[in-house]
A and B are shown apart, each in its own frame.
Chain A
């Protein structure tokens, strides 16, 4: 069974940094791309970015709203994907979900979702 468990959320001041983790189990982590999707309180889903599998170079892509501030990385030996968030803004307040596509290491399509972790950016 595919399981994705996010951690690392919490309250952080504007301008500070936070790193989220997504611990995966139930599948061969290194074979799949991993994406992050967020949802601000009472709002819709917003794609944040993703990282391809090593077979596709482990390259990353980001939404315009976070490009240059957020970085996604992965440790295939630990089955963990990370979301490093720098220069946080109040508008980054959201539940952050880790997702995985159904079958490939190349596309950002979310098929499986974690339970999410809440990040609150406030002074």
Chain B
């Protein structure tokens, strides 16, 4: 099985752009889709990116996802930061029989 490693926390100012990384420990990042979830305090997670770079309806285009095979990692980029983006963000990937989550990144917008 593989692991997904995220930074514990990131912070940035409103209006700026932030990128959260998610590095896969073994196997290719491109071999299975990566999803990203936002979780605000006291709420259930919601999907902000699926299948590496797809946005569900209702998610603003300020959110984007990508993968980089050279670093074996995925990234979530949020541009034009708003205070409402402050939350925990989790990456996730899976194969046919297991699902793996990253440890989560706390985004502070200050």
Contact = CB atoms under 8 A, between A and B. Distances in A.
Contact of A46 (B50, B88, B96, B101): B101
Main secondary structure of the interface of B (DSSP, over half): strand
Size band of the B side of the interface?
A: 20 to 34
Contact of A109 (B35, B39, B103, B104): B35
Contacts of A50: 99
Contact of A45 (B46, B95, B101): B101
A35 B97 CA distance: 11
Nearest to B43: A115
Size band of the A side of the interface?
A: 20 to 34
Contacts, number: 60
Interface string B74-110: 0000000000000010101011111111111000000
B35 A44 contact: no
Contacts of A97: 44-45
A110 B99 contact: yes
A102 B97 CA distance: 16
18 contacts: A37-B101, A44-B101, A44-B104, A45-B39, A47-B99, A61-B98, A97-B44, A107-B94, A109-B33, A109-B92, A110-B35, A110-B47, A110-B92, A111-B47, A112-B47, A113-B46, A115-B44, A116-B44
